[in-house]
Amino acid sequence: MSVHKALTLHAQKQNQIFIEFSLLDRQREDYIQRAIELCKAEKDFTTDQINQITLQINVLANQRFIPTRKLVTSEMVHSYVESLK
């Protein structure tokens, strides 16, 4: 395989990983926003979906130069909502 072809394949793989990261990160932010809205309404919520996506992001981060994300706790959401008041 030529060097040019190898570099092109490498760039495509990097781009695909970044696209996957971007989609997962957006989905994670949507789940966080839902948890915040439920918390504001004093309804029950979990951070399970947030953290499932977070773990997927962190697997990608271990493969490439992608930032990791922290797992989210219910207390973190409550604390954030309280800070908005």
Q: How many domains does the chain have?
A: 1
The reported pLDDT for the residue numbered 5 is 84
| Cβ-contact 66, 27 below 8 angstroms | no
pLDDT digit string (tens) for the chain, length 85 residues: 688 788 888 788 888 888 999 999 999 999 999 999 999 999 999 999 999 999 999 998 877 677 888 999 999 999 999 999 8
For residue 18, the SS3 value is helix
- Distance of alpha carbon 32 from alpha carbon 81, whole angstroms: 11
Cβ atoms < 10 Å from Cβ of 52: 13
Residue ranges making up the domain that contains 49: 3-84
The reported pLDDT for the residue numbered 40 is 97
50 burial type by CB count under 10 A (0-12 exposed, 13-18 middle, 19+ buried): buried
Q: What is the pTM of this model?
A: 0.78
Which residue from 36, 13, 77, 27 is spatially nearest to 57, judged by alpha carbons? 27
